[in-house]
Amino acid sequence: MDDFSYHAPATVAEAAALQAEGGATARFLAGGSDLFLALERADPPVTRVIDLKGIPALAEIAVASDGGVRLGAAVTMAAIERHDHLATRYPALAAAAAAVGGPPIRNRATVGGNVCNASPAADTSPVLLALGAMAVVAGPGGERELPLAGLWRGPGRITLAPGELLCALRLPARPPRSGCGFQRLTRSAMDIAIVNAAAAVTLDGAGRIASAAVALGAVGPTVLAVAGLKEALAGSPPDDETLARVERLAAAAARPIDDHRASAAYRREMAGVMARRAMAEAWQRAQAAPGEAA
Amino acid sequence: MKIPLRVTVNGVPREDLVEARTSLLTYLREQCDLTGTKRACEEGECGCCSVLLDGTQVTSCLVFAIEAQGKDVVTVEGLSEPLVLGSLQEAFAENGASQCGFCIPGMLMSATSLLERNGNPSEAEIRRAISGNLCRCTGYDRIVAAIAQAAERRRGAKG
Amino acid sequence: MSEQTFQYVGKRIPRVDIVPKLTGAAVFAEDVKVPGVLYGKLLHSPHPHARIVRIDTSRAEKLPGVRAVATAADLPDKRVGRVVKDEHYFARDKVRYVGDRVAAVAADTREIALEAVKLIEVEYEPLPPVRDAFEALAEGAPVIHEELLSYAVNGPAKPQGGNLCSLNELTRGDPEAAFGECARVFEQVYTTQMQHQTYMEPHACLAVYNPEGTYTIHTANQGQFPLRNVVAEVLGVPQNRVRVVPAEIGGGFGGKSIMKIEAAAAVLARKAGRPVRIVMSRHEDFIGGNPRAAFHVTIRTGVTADMRMHARTIDVVMDQGAHTHGAGAMTASVTQFGEGPYAIPNLRITSRLVYTNKACSSAMRAPGGPQINFALESESDRICEAMGWDGVEFRRRNAMPTDYVNTAGGVNRSVFTVETLEACVKLAGYRHDQVRPGPHRGRGLALGNWNVGGNASGAVVKMNPDGSVNVIGGVVDLSGVNTTLTQIVAEALDVPLERVTVKMLDTDSAPHATNSGGSQVLKSHGTACFKAAEHIKEQLFELAVDELDATTERMELKGGQVRVQGEPQRAVAVTRLLSKASASTGPLVGYGATGNSPRMPSMAAHVADVEVDPETGRVTVLRYCAAQDVGRAINPLSVEGQIHGGVVQGLGQALSEQFTYRDGRPENAGFLDYKLPSALDVPFIETVLVEKPAVVGPYGAKGVGEPPVVPVPAAIANAIYNAVGVRVTDLPITPEKLRAAIRAKAQGGA
């Protein structure tokens, strides 16, 4: 009890140094909704908490001139849900943020916290992955970027070294004729995802699929991208047969386990259904999207 | 490790020493003597511990007291004058929205948050606003009705 | 009671105690403040089944800040239990479930108490756990209570040995012979889950050991008298030396009618010489709680061509958990409720109450009711479909009539089955007016009953010199009863509502009462208050005899006066009579009491409209209609609230709630994975109150708390069947389960 300390650094460098000093017993605090629950179970016990909310840059949503977005790691789900640009251009992300917990949790839970908690069921993670997000990491050597998937090592485990800090997620601009979708399956209305799926699609001038991505959550040790999807769908018309292929590919890509929430078989089947529905949502939006960059 | 905490609670400035690890919930109940905010799950799942932190609704069981440094906290005791009900609470009373009463402080926080942002919420919006509040007694029915009525009366009062 | 207009009865008034609940001022058990309080924590067994070899508390005792440690050694060696006395408060020789109490500590802070609990060393010899009721009954199963046949028994339990705690049977007519007379016989098995009450307020109490050697316990419990009696029994002290003070209670639903933490707090308070507060964490409340028992129901029904159910047998196996607690409610109720809302001439109900190494099942809102009804009413629909019969007409034909001699031999009075059924069908609308028909949408009907009654209770009414009234009762206000009692007394004495105060007091001050639960408080306390009010009236009339020069039979009490009926000018003010009394016979106190009165059925008929997503198995409840036979709604606002809340608990049981174990270890002891309905899961619940006054009960009112949970799972299961043609016979009907059934049907399965 006596050796538990709280720190509120003003800069990223200070925060990173505090974490490097404390090693495995030092954790970053953003929204706290995951950290608090981890306090009881963490091994080694958490003795140092480093509050990131005093670093303004981490809570910013910056829209680039091309429409791409840099999301500070400490941006809350509520802020994402209500952001006009995100709701218009990245509606799947707004939908995923809107699905996390209930209103008071969304006021605190952050996108960086969600990603770094590395639960395979995290809601924003599949959307970020499908949209090609890059993780911006600050460390002793300065800032670096890596593809988001490189951040996750396994359930609850990330690849950041002591002294490294996720600063932001950078979302590329959406090309013309693009859309994204997000679906999640739960046992009741307020629930962790039993399966979630995000889809992103871009259509060519003839209305056929130019590029596509699907990412699945809660069906593997990390959030999974459905490999080979873009190649499999390139040139396809957005019709039921194509959607059926999406469903099959997603179900095949899933690597679920049985647990007290659901069986592997059900999760596998639902991965296909949710992926199909997310893709249908994505290309409906793509078909309505402007032909040239707005 | 005890840290000095300066915080305004229900409009009253306070200076206390808190353990770094103490939750905002425990601080409010035990050091501020405000037991209206309830401890029911301590996992952020039920909403009974909701308070307003700088005007934003949070589950105080998942907030360190020290995170309230320099901020404003409003609990259920601060939603109205002592012994006098505000219009939201009156609507709860008239509609039979409270049975055992344990979830009610949290519900009032959610309703207050909602009505500040949205003066004309639909039934769906009201249900979504209280989706993070579990109630075992009322089936949510009269709580939703009370919030709708409070919203209507406020719109009427504004003319 | 003739039909008269009432001033206060029948009015929708807000709860009299509403203001403190809305301002945060209401004092619940954890809010009770006392100087010098210590934090108490229990040590629970980590094993489902194990011998206790050794307990060493020395390291815990030495931790700075620890003020007391308690184990079985601090209590008399005595088993308690309402049905079968099978439980030591702190485990002695064995632990029998994860959550069983082994010891407790009291310390200066919560953190020290948590640390101290970890320092108590217990050496266990694990034993193989009995994981479910069928494993328990199998040949060679580990025996959980080796001395079962030597335990003292209360009431209807009939211990058989092994893990069979009770075998009960009730028969009417000759079912075996009657099956032979039937046109067709149906048989099916239905199974239901362990469901937890999940009141929002976890168990909490504060115990003080007083200098004169008595105990004061502030607690959230559904009955201060039964609690006091059990605490006294466990501690080995006379009942008068324990005073239980009821705090506001944050929900109970039967889960707070058992003594869980109070004896530990009391022992710790005595040993430490300081008050001790124990508050269960949500996790502890789940593992150490008293859930609704899982049932396995085999139901066999024979029908004749005239749409009648002619013969039925019901075999129930109830998964009790490690101790019987209040399971007597179930043993008795299963054998009563097996007949359901119907008159079946040949019926046998057999129930087996079985020990397993899990949390101890006990009363949860209508114990046994929804589990049995799920079987009864799913069968009603199944039978009707097979026979080509209309479901409403079938239920009407078989409906229990009034003054029915039930299978247990008593007479069911004031039975309004058909009226309730028809009220619901009318509310729902024959042509599905409110819900557009659509693919994968369906409507389901279910009819259920629950016996509401009244347990022994007393009430005191005092009239003050200014004519205002104080009422004292001895139960807790679980369901708004303080308000309803205010209305009853105001009506009886013609005193405005704000001049009547009802308080539920502690066990030293209040007349005796049983607990709040079993839908009986209104009848018991309502009747007791009514009688006490009548007693006041009698005394006032006696005092007025000289003044009015009339006999008491000719008098009435109206508007603060005693008057001669029909002659309003011959009147005397009540306040005048009261001063006369103070000067002569003393202040007026009225006392009323009721004994345990026979229960009578209250019917509930429900219609559910659902939509199924056949690809995922998710069910959306689009609309829900509930009709209930309430006798008289003293406070319709309160009655409707009970129905809304009961229906939503039933929806949880139907679709998402289940407390699960794997190899004797709880898997989901928290709200993340124990799925309660949220506001997004349920629609507004439409209600219609059938008010046909009962022959007994204050103003003809019946208890209302339990009937609304009974028909819900069957209504939902029937609606799902009508939506997608699939019948799920195991609760809860989760999306995964329903999806599996839909897929099996599509592939040509069952």
What is the tens place of the pLDDT at every residue in B78-98? Answer: 998 876 789 999 999 999 999
CA C48 remoteness from chain centre: 27
- Confidence bin at C481 (pLDDT 50/70/90): confident
Whether pLDDT at C337 is above 60: yes
Which residues of C are designated catalytic?
A: 706
CB contact under 8 A, C680 and B85: no
CATH architecture of C294-454+597-746: 2-Layer Sandwich (3.30)
Give the pLDDT of residue C335. Answer: 65
Give the HSE-up count for residue B120: Cα atoms under 13 Å, Cβ half-sphere.
3
Shortest CA distance from C733: residue in chain A: A187
- Write out the residues of chain A at the interface with chain C, using a CB-CB cutoff of 8 A: 1, 102, 185, 187-192, 260-263, 266, 269-270, 273
Whether pLDDT at C101 is above 80: yes
Tell me the nearest-neighbour CA distance from C203 into chain B, angstroms: 10
Whether pLDDT at C607 is above 70: yes
Strand partners, C347: C172, C312
Tens-digit pLDDT profile for residues A213-269: 999 999 999 999 999 999 999 999 989 999 999 999 999 999 999 999 999 999 999
In angstroms, the CA C645 to CA C292 distance is 17
CB contact under 8 A, C676 and B134: yes
Q: Which amino acid is at C449?
A: N
Judged by a CB distance cut-off of 8 A, whether residue A40 touches chain B is: no
In angstroms, the CA B142 to CA C481 distance is 18
Helix, strand, coil tally for chain A in percent (to 5): 40, 25, 40
Give the pLDDT of residue A290. Answer: 79
Name the superfamily (CATH) of residues B2-78: Beta-grasp domain (3.10.20.30)
Tell me the nearest-neighbour CA distance from B154 into chain C, angstroms: 18
Whether pLDDT at C433 is above 70: no
* DSSP code of residue C342: B
Q: Which residues on C lie below 8 Å from B32 (Cβ)?
A: none
* DSSP code of residue A121: T
Q: Locate CATH 3.30.43.10 in chain A.
A: 5-51
Nearest by CB: C671 against B36, B37, B43: B43
Q: Which residues on A lie below 8 Å from B41 (Cβ)?
A: none
Judged by a CB distance cut-off of 8 A, whether residue C660 touches chain A is: yes
Tens-digit pLDDT profile for residues C688-737: 999 999 998 889 999 999 999 999 999 999 999 999 999 999 999 999 99
Shortest CA distance from A5: residue in chain B: B20
- Residues with Cβ within 8 Å of residue C106, at least 6 apart in sequence: C38, C39, C40, C66, C67, C68, C69, C113, C268, C269, C271, C272, C274, C276
In angstroms, the CA B91 to CA B150 distance is 6
Strand partners, C40: C106, C278
Tens-digit pLDDT profile for residues C6-23: 999 999 999 988 999 999
Tell me which residue has tokens 């399971």. C327
CA C153 remoteness from chain centre: 22
Cis peptide leading into C345, omega within 30 of 0? no
- CB-CB contact of A243 with A261 (8 Å): no
- Residues with Cβ within 8 Å of residue A75, at least 6 apart in sequence: A58, A59, A60, A61, A110, A111, A112
Name the superfamily (CATH) of residues A178-288: CO dehydrogenase flavoprotein, C-terminal domain (3.30.390.50)
Could you tell me the fold of the domain covering A56-171? Answer: 3.30.465
Shortest CA distance from A267: residue in chain C: C736
Q: Which residues on C lie below 8 Å from A280 (Cβ)?
A: none
Alpha carbon distances (Å) from C268 to C63, C87, C263: 16, 20, 9
Name the superfamily (CATH) of residues C32-127+200-251+256-287: Aldehyde oxidase/xanthine dehydrogenase, a/b hammerhead (3.90.1170.50)
CB contact under 8 A, B1 and A51: no
Alpha carbon distances (Å) from C488 to A179, A189, C43, C482, C544: 64, 41, 46, 10, 24
- Residues with Cβ within 8 Å of residue A207, at least 6 apart in sequence: A237, A238, A287
Encode burial over C466-497: b for 16+ CB neighbours within 10 A, e otherwise: ebebebbbbbbbbbbbbbbbbbbbbbbbbbeb
Q: Which residues on A lie below 8 Å from B63 (Cβ)?
A: 32, 108
Most confident of C14-28, C74-88, C649-663: C649-663
Other beta carbons less than 10 A from residue A266's beta carbon: 24
Nearest by CB: A266 against C618, C676, C739: C739
Judged by a CB distance cut-off of 8 A, whether residue A53 touches chain B is: yes
In angstroms, the CA C381 to CA C636 distance is 32
Of B10, B110, B18, nearest in space to B64 by CA: B18
- Residues with Cβ within 8 Å of residue C130, at least 6 apart in sequence: C49, C136, C141, C142, C144, C163, C355, C356, C357, C664
Tell me which residue has tokens 């997620």. A169
Per-domain residue ranges for chain B?
A: 2-78, 87-158
Angle of helix B141-158 versus helix C636-655 axis, rounded to 10: 120
CB contact under 8 A, C735 and A187: yes
Chains in contact with C, where contact means 3 or more Cβ–Cβ distances below 8 Å, are A, B
Q: Which residues on C lie below 8 Å from B112 (Cβ)?
A: none
Average pLDDT over residues C136-142: 97
Tell me the nearest-neighbour CA distance from B154 into chain A, angstroms: 22
Name the CATH code of domain C18-25+456-594 (choices 1.10.3720.10, 3.40.50.2000, 3.30.1370.100, 3.30.365.10).
Answer: 3.30.365.10
Sign for the CA dihedral angle at A218, A222, A228, A229 comes to positive
Shortest CA distance from B51: residue in chain A: A104
H or E element: which one contains C330? helix C328-337
H or E element: which one contains C629? strand C618-629
Tens-digit pLDDT profile for residues C167-191: 999 999 999 999 999 999 999 999 9
Written as six digits, the tokens of C653 are: 């049981």
A residues 188-207 near B, CB within 8 Å? 189-190
Give the pLDDT of residue A44. Answer: 87
Written as six digits, the tokens of C155 are: 């009431």
Tell me the CA end-to-end span of chain A in Å, nearest whole number.
Answer: 56
Judged by a CB distance cut-off of 8 A, whether residue A154 touches chain B is: no
- Residues with Cβ within 8 Å of residue B65, at least 6 apart in sequence: B5, B18, B22, B23, B24, B26, B27
Tens-digit pLDDT profile for residues C280-334: 999 999 999 999 999 999 999 999 999 999 999 999 999 999 998 766 556 666 7
Tell me the nearest-neighbour CA distance from C167 into chain B, angstroms: 33
In angstroms, the CA B104 to CA C203 distance is 18
Average pLDDT over residues B105-130: 97
Whether pLDDT at C221 is above 60: yes
Judged by a CB distance cut-off of 8 A, whether residue B125 touches chain C is: no
Whether pLDDT at C430 is above 60: no
Ramachandran assignment for C658, one of left (phi > 0), alpha (psi -120 to 50 degrees), beta (any other): beta
Chains in contact with B, where contact means 3 or more Cβ–Cβ distances below 8 Å, are A, C
Shortest CA distance from C737: residue in chain A: A266
Q: Locate CATH 3.30.365.10 in chain C.
A: 18-25+456-594, 294-454+597-746
- Confidence bin at C432 (pLDDT 50/70/90): very low
What does A213-277 look like in DSSP terms, one character per residue? EEEEESSSSS-EE-TTHHHHHTT--SSHHHHHHHHHHHHHH------SS--HHHHHHHHHHHHHH
In angstroms, the CA A86 to CA A133 distance is 14
Tell me the nearest-neighbour CA distance from A270 into chain C, angstroms: 7
Give the pLDDT of residue C518. Answer: 60
Chain A and chain C share a number of CB contacts under 8 A equal to 39
How many helices (H) and strands (E) are present in chain C, helices listed first? 18, 30
CB contact under 8 A, B96 and C14: yes
In angstroms, the CA A279 to CA C547 distance is 89
CB contact under 8 A, B93 and C197: no
CATH class of domain segment(s) A5-51? alpha beta
Could you tell me the fold of the domain covering B87-158? Answer: DNA polymerase; domain 1 (1.10.150)
Written as six digits, the tokens of B73 are: 């906290």
B residues 45-64 near C, CB within 8 Å? 45-46, 48
Whether pLDDT at C597 is above 90: no
Nearest by CB: A105 against B21, B59, B129: B59
- CB-CB contact of C215 with C242 (8 Å): yes
- Confidence bin at C1 (pLDDT 50/70/90): very low
Give the pLDDT of residue C329. Answer: 58
- SS3 assignment, position C321: strand
| Least confident segment among C303-317, C327-341, C410-424, C556-570 | C327-341
Tell me the nearest-neighbour CA distance from B71 into chain A, angstroms: 13
Q: Which residues on B lie below 8 Å from C671 (Cβ)?
A: 41, 43, 45-46, 134
Q: Which amino acid is at C647?
A: V
- Kindly state the percentage of chain A with pLDDT values over 90: 91
| Least confident segment among A42-46, B58-62, C553-557 | A42-46
In angstroms, the CA C655 to CA C490 distance is 43
- CB-CB contact of C495 with C550 (8 Å): no
Tens-digit pLDDT profile for residues C15-54: 988 999 999 999 999 999 999 999 999 999 999 999 999 9
Alpha carbon distances (Å) from C624 to C371, C379, C448, C709, C724: 20, 21, 15, 13, 18
Q: Which residues on A lie below 8 Å from B129 (Cβ)?
A: 103
Q: Is B2-78's fold the same as B87-158's?
A: no
The overall average pLDDT reported for chain C is: 93
CB contact under 8 A, C616 and A273: yes
- Residues with Cβ within 8 Å of residue C275, at least 6 apart in sequence: C34, C36, C37, C38, C206, C207, C208, C269
User: ipTM of this predicted complex?
Assistant: 0.97
Written as six digits, the tokens of C80 are: 């308690």
Give the pLDDT of residue C478. Answer: 75
Written as six digits, the tokens of C515 are: 């607990």
Judged by a CB distance cut-off of 8 A, whether residue A37 touches chain B is: yes
CB contact under 8 A, A192 and C656: no
Written as six digits, the tokens of B1 are: 């490790």
* DSSP code of residue C318: E
Q: Which residues on C lie below 8 Å from B122 (Cβ)?
A: none
